[in-house]
């Protein structure tokens, strides 16, 4: 009790102690993660012109777009696309707000009317957009599907943004007219011409080896042109890849197994031989291929022409008689044994017309479809009965009943098309039947009333059954690759990465200039884990790590860390060296030239005087020298007969003499040229306006810090 009383008496003191301990814990974590003190919340992906984009909001949009694009789009590709969309929207919304422009209800209705003008569900009997149908659709969506209604709201917002975007661009274009003065200038830039004589002392006449460019020269150039040489943070790595690939022994084992199906004998794990029916003798090919042989490619009962068979083996397979076998052969990552299971004559192509009657649940059925499968079948059969008596009603029924929007305008017709173009049931009817056949066929899209209008030249088609084994490494091979990768990882960590690789004859592959949001590593594809590791604070130069990649392992080493800022002298050398070298060559040429005439300069430099005619400012190109804007500009500053001093051009140092000046023809009106100027300005708006706005926007990109990629 005495102890309890003391605790009660000192409760305030204990609370203070606990509070201080918690406070010190929080402070320690803050100092450990300095971003928490210096940056915005980890939940803010970006701030664009003062507008925050939250992590949750961003990832919701990524998830939605990923569903739309499907599995073929990588997560990073989707995120980058959402990022571009978010940046564009934020940048443009800043402009909309500053100008005070918005989309009001009337304009929104106009935008919807334009966007949905061809959607069947919003058209009346006359084929015109019906606003009442739209209102009914939205009201029904709001009542029955919260996610659907939310998606509709998103669609309207996007439509409104697109409308505002178009308004903004149109307003900018409206202010960019081509004046008559600009038209006159445009005409003169094209029409004013000069003829010249010139001497070019080419930079190539001085060997690069005699021009000394120091690191300080390159550094000074970088500092004088900072904007051109600003770079993001980057990392350099090198790696050795260990691929799990089937060995020669693995491939031979696969071929031996397939030979047993050809010959009709199997050997189990205990060495006992079990006799089975040879592939060529089998009657139930589907069961044999799928179940007995457990083929990695299942039986397909479709008939194919020679052109659809594996190119390098088409002749061999196509020449087989029914029941004959070819293989084993290697094709497309598999070893295969193929058998011609059936042969028949099939038209090369057919021409049909059809009426599609959908039902609830059918693929591509719109929300307006209310009939059940039984009702759709009854309707299709009824129409078929009428059409058998009067096929002239076919076009009328197409317009009235068919839901296949792609063929309605052509009276339901699909012109000449090859075998296997349509879904299986449709394909079987049109190719197995004969010209004039009319019938009802059910597919995933509904019930089709099909009439075969024509068939072209029948030729041999084969049904091919194939027993296939994917060429994969055996367990023993995979184990060896794992051991090799593990051994290299350990030895490289203890010794020198390059030396250990060389001793084992492993190929080292360097990858330089990796950016924080990159996803692809040349040679191994999409490997965000490697990029993330390279940029982690705890990863130091020289660190080594193993990564699982499709089909094997990568042992990577971080070689260099380059922070954001100006490009290093080493990295900039390849780009800067030719520029400085050209400047120094120009100085060397100038210092040795004392000639004041073209002939004297040509004699001194062992070259010749050349001529160029019809030069204009619009396209500053000199015949025999190429594009030389400074030299052409200088030519238009000279009088006829006047000789220039030395001019530093793109490909050499020049001296020129103007031999003839031809002014542009005077026009009574320059409106046509002014119109061209206006069109040029308009084109620039389309291609460069957004990029200019984006460049001037304040964009804080926290994607790497928030670790969403």
436 and 509, same domain (yes or no): no
Determine contact, residues 84/92, Cβ cutoff 8 Å: no
Of 594, 604, 707, 582, nearest to 653 (Cα)?
582
How far, CA to CA in Å, does 196 sit from each of 595, 596, 646, 655, 656? 18, 16, 15, 10, 7
399 and 540, same domain (yes or no): no
339 and 435, same domain (yes or no): yes
Higher pLDDT, 162 or 1: 162
DSSP string, 246-272: --HHHHHHHHHHHHHHHHTEEE-TTS-
Q: Domain for residue 224, yes or no?
A: yes
DSSP bridge partners of 242: 553
Q: Domain for residue 215, yes or no?
A: yes
Q: Domain for residue 405, yes or no?
A: yes
Residue 540: domain span: 234-245+474-563
Pairing relationship of beta strands 565-566 and 544-549 according to DSSP bridges: unpaired
Residue 209 and residue 6: Cα distance in Å, rounded?
89
Of 16, 55, 25, 7, nearest to 703 (Cα)?
55
- The rounded percent of the chain whose pLDDT value lies above 70 is 92
Residue 464 and residue 339: Cα distance in Å, rounded?
6
563, 587, 616: which is the final residue of a domain? Answer: 563
* pLDDT tens-place string over residues 357-384: 999 888 888 877 888 999 999 999 999 9
pLDDT at 10 over 50: no
527 and 625, same domain (yes or no): no
pLDDT at 81 over 60: yes
Q: Domain for residue 217, yes or no?
A: yes
CATH of the domain at 484: 3.10.50
255 and 398, same domain (yes or no): yes
Which pLDDT belongs to residue 352?
Answer: 95
> What are the residues whose beta carbons fall under 8 Å from the beta carbon of 169, sequence distance 6 or more?
685, 686, 689
Q: How many helices (H) and strands (E) does the chain have?
A: 25, 25
65 and 78, same domain (yes or no): yes
CATH of the domain at 462: 3.10.50.40
563, 589, 612: which is the final residue of a domain? Answer: 563
Residue 214, token pair as written in the block: 């120091």
Coarse DSSP helix, strand, coil percentages of the chain, rounded to the nearest 5 percent: 50, 25, 30
352 and 261, same domain (yes or no): yes
Average pLDDT, whole number, for the chain? 88
> What are the residues whose beta carbons fall under 8 Å from the beta carbon of 241, sequence distance 6 or more?
507, 509, 523, 524, 549, 552, 553, 554
Least confident of 165-169, 516-520, 640-644: 516-520
* pLDDT tens-place string over residues 450-507: 999 999 988 999 999 999 999 999 999 999 999 999 999 999 999 899 999 999 999 9
150 and 241, same domain (yes or no): no
* pLDDT tens-place string over residues 103-160: 888 888 888 888 888 787 788 777 788 888 888 888 888 888 888 888 888 888 889 8
* pLDDT tens-place string over residues 645-683: 999 999 999 999 999 999 999 999 999 999 999 999 888
Judged by DSSP in three states, 453 sits in strand
Residue entry with tokens 């004392």:
594
* pLDDT tens-place string over residues 217-245: 999 999 999 989 988 889 999 999 999 99
462 and 497, same domain (yes or no): no
* pLDDT tens-place string over residues 247-258: 999 999 999 999
58 and 6, same domain (yes or no): no
Q: Domain for residue 62, yes or no?
A: yes
Q: Domain for residue 671, yes or no?
A: no
510, 533, 563: which is the final residue of a domain? Answer: 563
130 and 170, same domain (yes or no): yes
Quote the number of domains for the chain.
Answer: 5
Residue 464 and residue 663: Cα distance in Å, rounded?
77
Which pLDDT belongs to residue 328?
Answer: 95
DSSP conformational letter for 192? -
pLDDT at 316 over 60: yes
Q: Domain for residue 612, yes or no?
A: yes
Residue 205 and residue 211: Cα distance in Å, rounded?
12
Q: Domain for residue 595, yes or no?
A: yes
453 and 382, same domain (yes or no): yes
């Amino acid at each position: 009790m005495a102890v309890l009383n003391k605790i009660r008496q000192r409760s305030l003191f204990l609370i203070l102690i606990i509070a201080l301990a918690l406070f010190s814990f929080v402070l320690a974590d803050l100092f450990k993660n300095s971003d928490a003190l210096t940056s915005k919340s980890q939940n803010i992906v970006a701030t664009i012109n003062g507008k925050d984009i939250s992590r949750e909001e961003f990832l919701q949009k990524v998830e939605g777009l990923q569903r739309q694009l499907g599995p073929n789009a990588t997560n990073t590709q989707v995120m980058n696309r959402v990022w571009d969309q978010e940046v564009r929207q934020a940048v443009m919304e800043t402009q909309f707000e500053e100008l005070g422009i918005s989309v009001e209800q009337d304009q929104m209705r106009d935008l919807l009317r334009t966007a949905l003008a061809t959607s069947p569900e919003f058209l009346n009997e006359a084929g015109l957009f019906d606003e009442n149908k739209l209102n009914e659709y939205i009201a029904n969506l709001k009542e029955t599907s919260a996610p659907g209604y939310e998606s509709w709201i998103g669609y309207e917002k996007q439509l409104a943004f697109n409308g505002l975007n178009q308004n903004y661009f149109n307003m900018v274009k409206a202010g960019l007219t081509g004046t008559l003065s600009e038209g006159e200038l445009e005409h003169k830039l094209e029409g004013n011409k000069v003829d010249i004589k010139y001497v070019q002392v080419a930079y190539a006449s001085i060997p690069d080896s005699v021009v000394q460019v120091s690191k300080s020269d390159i550094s000074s150039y970088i500092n004088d042109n900072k904007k051109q040489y600003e770079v993001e943070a980057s990392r350099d790595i090198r790696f050795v890849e260990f691929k799990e690939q089937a060995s020669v022994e693995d491939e031979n084992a696969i071929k031996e197994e397939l030979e047993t199906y050809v010959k009709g004998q199997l050997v189990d794990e205990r060495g006992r031989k079990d006799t089975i029916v040879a592939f060529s003798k089998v009657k139930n090919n589907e069961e044999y291929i799928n179940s007995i042989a457990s083929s990695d490619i299942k039986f397909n009962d479709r008939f194919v022409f020679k052109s659809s068979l594996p190119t390098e083996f088409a002749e061999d397979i196509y020449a087989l008689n029914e029941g004959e076998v070819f293989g084993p052969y290697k094709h497309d990552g598999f070893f295969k044994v193929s058998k011609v299971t059936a042969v028949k004559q099939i038209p090369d192509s057919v021409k049909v017309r059809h009426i599609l009657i959908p039902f609830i649940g059918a693929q591509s059925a719109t929300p307006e479809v209310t009939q059940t499968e039984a009702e759709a079948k009854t309707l299709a059969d009824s129409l078929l009965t009428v059409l058998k008596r009067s096929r002239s009603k076919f076009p009328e029924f197409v317009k009235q009943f068919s839901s296949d929007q792609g063929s309605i305008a052509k009276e339901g017709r699909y012109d000449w098309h090859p075998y296997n173009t349509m879904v299986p049931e449709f394909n079987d009817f049109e190719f197995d039947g004969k010209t004039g056949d009319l019938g009802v066929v059910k597919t995933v899209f509904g019930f089709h009333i099909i009439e075969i209008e024509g068939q072209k030249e029948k030729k041999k088609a084969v049904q091919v059954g194939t027993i296939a084994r994917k060429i994969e490494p055996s367990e023993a091979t995979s184990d060896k690759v794992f051991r090799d990768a593990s051994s290299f990882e350990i030895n490289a960590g203890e010794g020198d990465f390059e030396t250990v690789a060389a001793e084992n004859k492993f190929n080292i592959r360097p990858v330089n200039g990796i950016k924080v949001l990159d996803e692809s590593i040349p040679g191994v594809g999409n490997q965000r884990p490697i990029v993330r590791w390279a940029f982690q604070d705890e990863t130091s130069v020289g660190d080594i790590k193993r990564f699982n990649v499709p089909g094997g392992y990568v042992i990577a080493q971080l070689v260099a860390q380059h922070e954001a800022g100006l490009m290093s002298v080493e990295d900039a050398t390849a780009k800067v060296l030719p520029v400085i070298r050209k400047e120094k060559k120009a100085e060397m040429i100038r210092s040795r030239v004392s000639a004041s005439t073209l002939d004297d300069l040509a004699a001194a430099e062992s070259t010749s005087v050349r001529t160029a005619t019809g030069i204009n400012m619009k396209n500053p190109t000199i015949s025999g020298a190429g594009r030389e804007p400074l030299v052409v500009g200088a030519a238009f500053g000279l009088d006829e007969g006047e000789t220039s001093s030395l001019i530093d051009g793109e490909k050499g140092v020049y001296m020129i003499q103007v031999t003839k000046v031809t002014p542009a023809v005077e026009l009574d009106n320059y409106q046509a040229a002014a119109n061209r100027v206006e069109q040029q300005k308009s084109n620039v708006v389309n291609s460069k306006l957004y990029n200019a706005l984006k460049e001037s926007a304040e964009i804080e990109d926290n994607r790497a810090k928030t670790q969403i990629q």
